[in-house]
Chains A and B, each alone.
Chain A
Amino acid sequence: MFYREAGDFKTSYRDDSQTFPIRLDRMGYYVLMFVAFLVVPFFINDYWVNAVFAPFLIYAIAALGLNILTGYAGQVSLGTGGFMAVGAYACYKLMTGFPEVSIVIHIILAGGITAIVGVAFGLPSLRIKGFYLAVATLAAQFFLVWLFNKVPWFYNYSASGQINAPERSVFGVIVTGPNTEAWAKYMICLVFVVVLAWVARNLTRGMMGRKWMGIRDMDIAAEIIGVNPLMAKLSAFAVSSFFVGIAGALFFAVYLGAAEAGEAFGINKSFLILFMIIIGGLGSIFGSFAGAAFMVLMPVFLKNVLVGGMGWPTDLAAHFEFMIVGGLIVLFLIVEPHGLAQLWRLTKEKLRLWPFPH
């Protein structure tokens, strides 16, 4: 009744192709932005930012990155953890090497370095596809983690191989290190998420995104109509790795503050982010957020309900958590194999017709 295109007149092509063509969606988006930028920072505390918002926002960036590569360009990657490690270690080396430069620049540069590494490991994608490419990226995952464990230069020769983020500030506000205020930590993640999601949205609906999707759907046909597979695949690897690198840098510098390659960026991380985009929805910006939210918030929520609310022993709760999350993943995928994004899309379709479906 309220959720419909009718009556919402567009008078230019620009309006016609906007991201949220329906007024209610658009308003929802503005309200969300308003709440995220102007309400949440005033109420957020250490628990909420460290347990909920920082991991959610950072994983959302990583999921966006992987979604560009796997969801839009169709190149399977199991190297996400390794690429996050590149971002983290690049950021660490830059932070400690050039302390006078702003951390924001370091994070972006860390993304750039990861993009270069990503392109290098993306080269095999020109010859191999599908499972074989997955194995090649798996090699990247193990190689990168091994490299950061093996070469002491990356962790500044510290005795334990741990990297620690020193204190850095943006416009005089501390954003890394232990003295960071909750809102500052939240805001830096939020700004990166919003900017990168905006970039991702516009890349994927522009020429580049269409080329990626062409390669994904049928690479030979795409090549025949003039898509250069070399450029398309490598650009997908570069953009994806850039996103993942930024996620890694934020993950280390802003969220954890200290990390070691094997523990923080192991193969589990690659799988976690792959699960996020599969559950959220391949080839969907919203899906990246939904998947990240599901995988990050669900365990925290269950833990709070089972242990805090119902007083269960922690080990029992932890085992149940695995079972419930696993069960929900299977359930969601049976109900809707295309992920939460498709569920959302269908809901919107139904809403448009509601309350007169025929």
Chain B
Amino acid sequence: MKYTKLAAASVTALMVATPVLADLVFPSLSYRTGPYAAGGIPYADGFADYFTLLNERDGGIGGVMTSAPECETAYNTEKGVECYEATKGQGALAYNPLSTGITYQLIPKVTADDIPLYTPGYGRTSAANGKVFSHVFNFPANYWNAASLAVNHLKEVSGGDLTGKKIALVYHNSAYGKEPIRTLEELSEKHGFEFTTIPVDHPGQEQKAQWLQIRRERPDFVIMYGWGVMNQVAIQEAANIRFPMENFIGVWWSGGDHDVAPAGDAATGYKAVTFHGVGSDYPVFDDIQKYVVDAGKAAGNGDNIGKAIYNRGVYAAMLLAEAARTAQEIHGTPDITSSMMRDGMEALEITEERMAELGMPGFGPTFTVTCENHGGPGTGAIQQWDAAAGTWSLISDYGPSDMEVIQPLIEEDSAAYAAENNIEPRCN
């Protein structure tokens, strides 16, 4: 026993002391195993492929090569902590853990270690308030925007009035799924719809009871905040009880191709909110095909290009790369540190011209990050699934969310965090 332990300790010491130097390091705390791998794989592939593209096509960012070392978290917070500590020493510039649970763990840690945390469309929603959360960014949209966008869409399809309608929320019974409840409660008061919550416990493979309840209570609309295997099961169960798919709308994390595919034709008409473009009809994907996939450097199997969650990985990587570029400009040095990276993220400006230059015209909203607002514009569109064609298509424009309701909630929640942790508001 003693010898094995000794050997283990010495080998581990060797292993952790191998930093990647002189690169722009964007650790990818990914998960390619476990019940959430279905969503984790395409996202991690997109994230990695974009950085590979930058290296292959442009020679990195500002002349410095990038790297996105992966660390497997299996969507588990303990492994997330281990991954954070393991990659921190490699000169990590920013973290993107793709897990709300891990995000909650990392918020205080990254603030203490002066590393920015980027959580597009997930994480702690009130981190949009840069006055309290100096190191956390969740542009261009967050959970509460998604809830509001979904309600806006439902209002539109109900002829502009939701009074007396019944909306049920099927949610992952974790920090992630609980996030939109407050917002939806406020919105139900404002629009006069009846609101019920239906939790689904981790990992969500068993949802018979929940959908029986939906069948009994007959809500007009169902909103879903699910992730991983839970999405597929929910859409299948909805099909089984013949719930009309066009009245079933998921958050962007419930809008992957793999989520709807198992239900086959029955999934046609299922909707999801999104904050970026769908499909592979953008020049950037041709570049990825040419420089990454054809060169045999694609992450994973290379078969996810153009899928909804893959696109999100590419989009997140693109925004991080742009922030790194901004940081290089601000500080006048190509070798930026995590602290400079934070400044870059806070000064990030995404314009239509820049998006077109990057081969992603109209892929996402244009916005400017400021010291106060780390959350971006909060706009989004609705995508709908067509099983016969096997594609998502946008059925609405990028519309605004109801910031009148969301902003006070952000203020309230971030104020509570500031009070708990004795944080002085910045940006004065």
Query: Which residues of A are in contact with B by a Cβ distance under 8 Å?
Result: 46-47, 50-52, 55, 96, 149, 158-162, 164, 166-167, 177-179, 255-260, 262-264, 266, 290, 293, 297, 300-301, 303-305, 307-309, 313-315, 317-319, 340, 343-344, 347
Contact = CB atoms under 8 A, between A and B. Distances in A.
B76 to A, nearest CB: 8
Contact of B89 (A47, A166, A266): A47
Closest 9 CB pairs of A and B: A315-B32, A178-B108, A160-B175, A304-B15, A178-B112, A308-B15, A314-B72, A51-B82, A47-B85
Interface in B82-115: 82, 84-86, 88-89, 100-101, 104-105, 107-109, 111-113
Given A50-B81, A256-B77, A318 B72 contact: yes
Q: Chain B at the A interface: mostly helix, strand, loop or mixed?
A: helix
Given A161-B178, A178-B113, A314-B70, 8 more contacts: A46-B88, A149-B173, A159-B181, A160-B178, A162-B101, A166-B421, A260-B175, A307-B72
Contact of B71 (A167, A314, A343, A344): A314
Interface residues of B, number: 57
B109 A178 contact: yes
A259 B112 contact: no
A50 B88 CA distance: 12
Residue in A159, A266, A290, A313 with the greatest tally of chain B CB atoms within 10 Å: A159
B8 A257 contact: no
Interface string B397-428: 00000000000000001001000110000000
Nearest to B420: A166
A179 B421 CA distance: 12
A262 B70 contact: no
B77 A262 contact: no
A160 B33 contact: no
Contacts of B78: 55, 256, 264
A47 B33 CA distance: 23
Given A259-B77, A314-B72, A160 B85 contact: no
9 contacts: A158-B416, A162-B104, A178-B113, A256-B81, A258-B108, A260-B101, A304-B15, A314-B32, A314-B72
Contacts of A55: 78
Given A167-B421, A179-B112, A263 B202 contact: yes
A100 to B, nearest CB: 15
Given A47-B86, A317-B72, A262 B173 contact: yes
B174 A262 contact: yes
Contacts of A161: 174-175, 178
B179 A344 contact: no
Contact of B33 (A260, A305, A319, A344): A319
A158 B85 CA distance: 27
A263 to B, nearest CB: 5
B86 A159 contact: no
B164 to A, nearest CB: 27
A96 B421 CA distance: 11
Interface string B261-290: 000000000000000000000000000000
B22 interface: no
A164 B108 contact: yes
Contacts of A51: 81-82, 85-86
Contacts of A309: 11, 14-15
Contacts of B41: 315
Contact of A290 (B1, B8, B30, B174): B1
B305 to A, nearest CB: 18
B210 to A, nearest CB: 15
Contacts of B176: 160
A158 B12 CA distance: 39
A257 B108 contact: yes
A315 B74 CA distance: 9
A63 B202 CA distance: 25
A307 B126 CA distance: 35
A304 B16 contact: yes
A257 B175 contact: no
Interface string B5-21: 10010011011101000
A297 B15 CA distance: 14
B109 to A, nearest CB: 5
